[in-house]
């Protein structure tokens, strides 16, 4: 008799369902794609959006990965997160990629699973990548043709006015070419994770190469690039991307500095952080502009940018590169005094000690 009462009490507890009318209404209002499973994976509730995603079909669970995740959550009684694929229909090979979170509710011996469809986001991202790649590739051909034609006109024509227009056209072609290349670079940076296929990058060598790339531009403006002491440390990442970021900062400092001034490039390390600091004696940046300086296509002085060929993407690329490498970039500036950009990056764990040769 006692055993029967205990069994009946236990069965009564198991009959309690977390999927009350209030819980169901709340999930419906929030719009979650969700499923609530009672003891033995009995389906107590599923939202219409969960059925639309294909995890429930004919009021039954669908997908071996999903069922395995439920079993693991029930066995470990711990929250489980995973990316799963479920069939789009009863026939065919089409699948839908879902992000799923499963939580065990011990008081009810139940599970609640919520879903987010990643397929559409991936599709849109793929369309964006393809569009940028295709349109950029297609633009390169007419840009190259215009460059060749403008150069031919400059050489062949004896009319000073026509030569003037041809030179102006060359300048705009070069600016357009730079813009297209920077759009391609930024798109690649957003898609790639440099730490997945990383190498040890010597910071001193990368900074020196970036300076070398800017030396001709500096010489034409009689701007001296002063290199500070070396640090002899490495960071983990993509060498090409890091040189691109350092180059963009140095080039930006040169472009926005008056002739016959100085640009300083210093590297220091402290603890597990290395800093690359680029200091100019330029016009400076107002406080109102400093908060937006790393935005895409944002230019402090559009007229000056047109003169220098600036696209407004250089600093945005710097921010993406450094962010992808687990670092940050900051700015100090004062109008009429100049600007200081500071890149901070984590030093590789097995990097040589400071000052080691």
Does residue 278 share a domain with residue 300? Answer: yes
β pairing state of 95-105 and 110-117: antiparallel
pLDDT at 324: 83
Domain count, the chain: 3
Choosing from 191, 211, 240, the residue where a domain stops is 191
Strands (E), 196-295: 199-202, 224-227, 234-237, 262-270, 273-279
* 160 and 67, same domain (yes or no): no
Look at residue 250 in the predicted model and tell me its pLDDT.
94
Q: Identify the pLDDT of residue 224.
A: 94
Give yes or no: residues 18 and 49 share one domain: yes
Q: Does 347 share its domain with 242?
A: yes
Q: Cα separations (Å) of 207 from 21, 70, 225, 279, 346?
A: 63, 51, 12, 14, 16
Above pLDDT 90, what percent of the chain? 20
User: Which CATH number belongs to the domain containing residue 47 in this structure?
Assistant: 3.30.450.20
What residues contact residue 131 under an 8 Å CB cut-off, 6+ apart?
none
Selection from 236, 242, 234 nearest residue 274 by Cα: 234
Q: Does residue 28 sit in the same domain as residue 129?
A: no
Query: Is the pLDDT assigned to residue 260 strictly greater than 80?
Result: yes
CATH number at residue 210: 3.30.565.10
- Whether the CB-CB separation of 247 and 214 falls below 8 Å is answered with yes
Residues 16 and 112 in one domain: yes
Query: Is 70 exceeded by the pLDDT of residue 84?
Result: yes
Examine the domain organization and report whether 83 and 124 are in the same domain. no
- pLDDT of 295 over the 70 cut: yes
Please indicate, yes or no, whether residues 224 and 322 belong to a single structural domain of this protein: yes
Owning domain of residue 84: 2-117
Q: Given a cut of 50, is residue 7 above it in pLDDT?
A: no
Same domain, 319 and 200: yes
Do 185 and 210 belong together in one domain?
A: no
Calculate mean pLDDT across residues 209-225. 93
Whether residues 108 and 127 fall in one domain: no
* Alpha-carbon distances, residue 177 vs 70, 168, 228, 259 (angstroms): 53, 14, 33, 25
CB 292 within 8 A of CB 299: no
Whether the CA torsion 344, 335, 264, 211 is positive or negative: it is positive
Residues 187 and 261 in one domain: no
Distance CA 163, CA 207 (A): 39
């Amino acid at each position: 008799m006692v055993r029967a009462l205990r069994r009946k009490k236990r069965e009564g507890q198991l009959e309690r369902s977390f999927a009350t009318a209030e819980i169901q209404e709340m999930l419906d209002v929030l719009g979650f794609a969700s499923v609530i499973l009672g003891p033995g994976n009995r389906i107590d509730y599923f939202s219409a959006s969960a059925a639309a995603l294909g995890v429930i079909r004919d009021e039954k669970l669908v997908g071996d990965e999903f069922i395995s995740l439920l079993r693991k959550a029930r066995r470990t009684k711990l929250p489980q997160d995973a990316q799963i694929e479920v069939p789009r229909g009863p026939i065919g090979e089409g699948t839908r990629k879902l992000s799923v979170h499963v939580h065990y509710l011990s008081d009810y011996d139940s599970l609640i699973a919520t879903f987010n469809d990643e397929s559409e986001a991936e599709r849109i991202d793929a369309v964006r990548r393809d569009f940028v790649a295709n349109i950029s590739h297609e633009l390169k051909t007419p840009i190259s043709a215009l460059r060749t034609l403008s150069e031919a006109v400059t050489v062949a024509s004896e009319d000073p006015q026509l030569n003037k227009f041809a030179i102006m056209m060359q300048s705009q072609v070069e600016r357009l070419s730079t813009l297209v290349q920077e759009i391609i670079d930024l798109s690649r940076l957003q898609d790639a994770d440099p730490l997945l296929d990383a190498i040890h990058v010597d910071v001193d060598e990368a900074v020196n190469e970036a300076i070398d790339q800017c030396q001709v531009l500096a010489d034409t403006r009689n701007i001296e690039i002063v290199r500070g002491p070396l640090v002899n440390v490495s960071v983990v990442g993509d060498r090409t991307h890091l040189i691109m970021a350092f180059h963009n900062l140095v080039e930006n400092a040169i472009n926005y500095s008056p002739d016959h001034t100085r640009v300083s490039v210093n590297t220091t390390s402290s603890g597990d952080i290395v800093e690359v600091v680029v200091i100019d004696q330029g016009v400076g940046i107002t406080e109102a502009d400093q908060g937006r300086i790393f935005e895409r296509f944002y230019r402090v002085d559009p007229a000056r940018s047109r003169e220098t060929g600036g696209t407004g993407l250089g600093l945005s690329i710097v921010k993406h590169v450094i962010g992808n490498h687990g670092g940050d970039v900051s700015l100090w500036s004062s109008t009429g005094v100049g600007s200081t950009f500071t890149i901070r990056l984590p030093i590789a764990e097995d990097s040589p000690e400071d000052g080691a040769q």
